[in-house]
Structure 1
Amino acid sequence: MEPQNHVSDGADHAFCPVTGVKGKAVKMVTLKALLTPHALAELNPKAEFRFCPDPMCDVVYFSENQTYRTDDIKVPVLQKSQSLDVPVCYCFGHTHSEVVKAAEADSGQKLEGSISAHIKAGRCGCEVNNPQGSCCLGNVKAIVRALIT
């Protein structure tokens, strides 16, 4: 799917042009690492992009004049996918299914500790692996906490 250009109407550019959900700013390195070649060829590298977290919206990144949807991203996006095979921890390959199984087996905190140890050792690359452009550990913890409470 080709990147969809969104023509600005003067509205606040912090909000997804499709759903109106507030997006989180992402660094350009994230888009450069995760956009498909076709989408990357259309990227305005001077634009400021945000990540749309709304699971009901297929927009992943948006700026004042451009949007990129799930088909424009090289990897499945946790917030946009219902698949249990979708990564939750993009750096170390932990899928939604694996995190759920760990939580159900009462080893969710052990998994969190393993990821934390990798982060402390400087092995994390979330800015180029995670479509959110930020640390995946919060997503892992949220899934574990939701299942153990």
Structure 2
Amino acid sequence: MDCCTPANSVETAKTECPSCGEKGKNVQLITLKSLLQAAALETIEPDKSYVFCSNPPCSIVYFSSNHSQTFVQNDLKVPVYQKNMSADVPVCYCFDWTRERLIQAVGTDQKPADQIKAHVQAGRCGCEVNNPQGACCLGNVNAFERSLKEE
């Protein structure tokens, strides 16, 4: 099973962010191990479960389910799409589709989501180790493309 198959959504237990109160989504420990800077990685507690907060204005990216630990954007090796509005931030981390690249592709009638989907179906994605949300990015890509077409 790969990261973009619906069965991966088994781990959808939600809990509230200790900072903003919004519901977050559980992420696998491998996501944190892959994306945290060394100093932050040295502090994770492998026996705890961690949650991703996607609320854009909230500074917290990950928190432990018992709220004893939090990680912010500076603790990660990559910018977080949901929390960083820069054009060069990936929307799709596996295949480097940034906001800017998506805008250019959509402007020339390319179909980035179809290209990404083909890669996913070929078993090439690694969202659980590349994407801070620890899940498939296609929803983000599709939503971003829709927002461009609505402008």
Shorter-normalised TM range: 0.7 to 0.9
What residue identity is the alignment partner of 1:86? V
CA–CA distance in 1 between the matches of 2:21 and 2:103? Answer: 30
Structure 2 residues not aligned, in runs of 5+: 1-13
Query: Does residue 69 of structure 1 match 2:72?
Result: yes
Q: Quote the Cα distance in structure 1 between the aligned partners of 2:104 and 2:84.
A: 18
Instruction: Establish whether residue 101 from structure 1 lines up as the match of residue 100 from structure 2.
Output: no
Once residues 28 and 46 of structure 1 are traced to their aligned partners in structure 2, the CA distance between those partners, rounded to angstroms, is 9
- How many Å separate the matches in 1 of 2:102 and 2:25? 24
Correspondence 1:78 to 2:66: no
Aligned CA-pair RMSD: 1.1
Give 5+ residue unaligned stretches, structure 1.
1-12
Q: How many residues align?
A: 135
For 1:18, the equivalent position in structure 2 comes to 19
- When normalised by structure 1's length, the TM-score is 0.87
Mapped partners of 1:104, 1:145: distance in 2: 12
Q: Which residue number corresponds to residue 89 of structure 1?
A: 92
Structure 1 stretches of at least 4 aligned residues deviating more than 6 Å after TM superposition: none
Contact 1:104/1:148, CA 8 A, preserved across alignment: no
CA shift for structure 1 position 74 = 0.5
Amino acid paired to 2:103:
V
1: CA distance, partners of 2:147 / 2:108: 14
TM-score between the two structures when normalised by the length of structure 2: 0.86
